[in-house]
Amino acid sequence: MIKAAALDVRAGSLVNRQGPLKRQRPDLAGGQQPGQQQGEILGTSTGVTSATLNNGAGLIQGDKRLTLDLSGAGSNAGGRLLAGEALGLTAASFDNSLGRVASDGTLEIAVAGNCSTATACWVRSAPCN
């Protein structure tokens, strides 16, 4: 486990299998693909900027905000993307097969190409007032 007051990861790729990365505001920038299979990225405000993302069976959470800015493909197959106040996802394509995307506040998803939401997955946002 890595736990810190500040965490800034800048790398060609990030592999986080079955391990948590925790801090108040993790900002992860991966040049190619953060590999987040069965791992955890947790923070108060969490941001991931990358070409692609594989969150297979993983958890990426922002207690307040979660922002994912992917220039290529994103996969949340069997994974969880969660936010307490606002979740924003931008990707060229996105696979949420058996995955969960949820925000207790606003939820904005912008996918330019294919968006797969196969059986038993769900996307949820708080009801509008």
Domain ranges in the chain are 24-125
pTM confidence score: 0.75
**What's at 78, amino acid-wise?**
G
What's the rounded Cα separation, in Å, for the pair 56 and 10?
21
38 DSSP assignment: T
SS3 68: strand
Q: What is the pLDDT of residues 10-32, one digit of tens each?
A: 555 555 565 565 544 445 555 44
CB atoms within 10 A of CB 46: 27
List, for residues 46-98, the tens digit of each pLDDT value: 888 888 888 888 899 888 999 999 999 999 999 999 999 999 999 999 999 88
